[in-house]
Amino acid sequence: MQFFCLELFPFLVLLGVSLSFLVCIGESVIELPENDTIPAVFVFGDSIVDTGNNNNLKTIFKVNYPPYGQDFLGGKPTGRFSNGKVPSDLIAEELGIKPLLPAYLDPSLQAQDLITGVNFASGGNGYDPLTSDLASVLSLSDQLEMFKEYIIKLKGIVGEERTSQILRKSLVTVVTGSNDVTNTYFGSPLRKSIYDISSYADLMVSSGSRFVQDLYGLGLRRIGVFGLPPLGCLPSQRTLKGGVTRKCVDSYNQMCQLFNKKLSNELTLINGILPEARMIYLDIYNLPLDVIHNPKNYGFGISNIGCCGTGTIEVAFLCKCTCSNVSEYVFWDSFHLTEKAYRLLVHQILEQYMKDFICEKPFC
């Protein structure tokens, strides 16, 4: 893949290592320091990043049918929970690795695809194992087992030494937790009757901590963990809990902020314990909140409903028809963003945090 770029924001870091963020026509590329590479991308998590792993599962949490994918290549529904590409694709694209990040369970997956990374995410997943059980989807434990299987396959293709190098240098993202809050905690009595908000956030963080340390134990080092977005401002939650005027739900957003703080602190602790760890907390709360409150500042017109159906509650199989002007919408359905909104978010994340993955301690 070729990129035509305009160089922006060149800067020097300590010891004279030169970095540049490159903004390209249609896509962006991060230029790494000399002798450094990001050979592959691996993604774990939920529907925000799932690229089709749920397609053959017996679950309602799958979208391999129209109108999902209407703006994807050829208008094809692939199991991505949006009108087009999702963050996992866009991260791989912006890094110049490949235009799409295939699902590990895609039956058409080729051996060559494994070398540059694959996606293990499953829509409906959560940090809480109960969340995945209720949705009949792949838990984080399931995704970890799939990754172990992947490593064996990769060793068979490129050998043990190169496999180790690929794992150490690759960029990993973990994107989950939204379903824990909206479905398992606030959406059912199964956890709320046992845990208060703070202790349930602790349960989520504890699960996430074990998961990223397990990934480290398997050879991964550069691990970015997304925080929670402002879930109280999702169209579905505004409809269900926001009253007649469909306001953002403060209790949901406060829980998200509490979890994010706990998660950030936990990752800092892990980085202090594991000598080679680059475990980075990625904030996806503040920018989406500003986009929702001030959509016109970002090139959008509508941010309180989705493009699908009435935009107030429809998601997955409830999504039967769509708006005629999807580029005006922040949300595709009542839970997920449009490709346009995801592009904005992914670009900002890479621009803000990429240096934290590639600079050497103690100079970060």
Name the β-bridge partners of 5.
Answer: 24
Q: What is the pLDDT of residue 37?
A: 84
- Of the residues 47, 209, 236, 334, which is catalytic? 47
Q: What is the pLDDT of residues 288-333, one digit of tens each?
A: 999 999 999 999 999 999 999 999 999 999 999 999 999 999 999 9
Buried/exposed code over 257-290 (b: 16+ C-beta within 10 A; e: otherwise): bbbbebbbebbeebbeeeeebbbbbbbbbebbbe
Model confidence over 194-231: pLDDT tens digits? 999 999 999 999 999 999 999 999 999 999 999 999 99
> Known catalytic residue: 336?
yes
Predicted confidence at residue 6, as pLDDT, reads 30
3 state SS of 349: helix
Catalytically annotated residue among 46, 50, 180, 333: 333
Please state the separation of Cα 94 from the chain's center in Å: 14
Question: Domains plus CATH for the chain?
Answer: 37-292 (3.40.50.1110)
* Phi and psi, residue 152, nearest 5°: -60, -45
Asked about 333 being catalytic, the answer comes back as yes
**pLDDT tens track for 49-94:** 999 999 999 999 999 999 999 999 989 999 999 999 999 999 999 9
Provide the pLDDT for residue 36: 75
The confidence score (pLDDT) of residue 245 equals 96
- Which residue is it, tokens 């194992």? 129
For residue 118, what pLDDT is reported?
A: 98
Tokens, residue 6: 């305009």
> In angstroms, rounded to a whole number, what is the distance separating the alpha carbons of residues 170 and 340?
26
Q: Answer whether 0.75 is exceeded by the pTM.
A: yes
At residue 181, does pLDDT exceed 50?
A: yes
Please report which residue ranges of the chain form alpha helices under DSSP H. 87-94, 111-115, 129-135, 140-158, 160-169, 178-179, 189-192, 197-217, 235-241, 250-273, 286-293, 339-358
- In this model, does residue 7 exceed pLDDT 50? no
Q: Is 128 a catalytic residue?
A: no
- The pLDDT of residue 225 is 98
How far, in Å, CA of 314 to CA of 244, rounded? Answer: 18
- Amino acid at site 202: D
Q: What's the average model confidence in pLDDT over 339-356? A: 94
Reported as a pLDDT band with limits 50, 70 and 90, residue 179 is very high
Average pLDDT (227-249) is: 97
Which range has the worst mean pLDDT, 17-21, 249-253, 295-299? 17-21
Residue of 89, 122, 128, 336 marked active site: 336
Q: What is the DSSP string of 38-78?
A: ---EEEEESTTT-SSTTTTSSSS----STTTTTTSGGG---
pLDDT at residue 138 is higher than 80:
yes
The confidence band for 14, taking pLDDT boundaries of 50, 70 and 90, is: very low
Residue 18 has pLDDT above 90, yes or no: no
Q: What is the CA radius of gyration of the chain?
A: 20
Classify residue 307 by its DSSP letter.
Answer: S
pLDDT of residue 30: 62
For 20-59, the pLDDT digits (tens) are 333 333 344 666 666 678 999 999 999 999 999 999 999 9
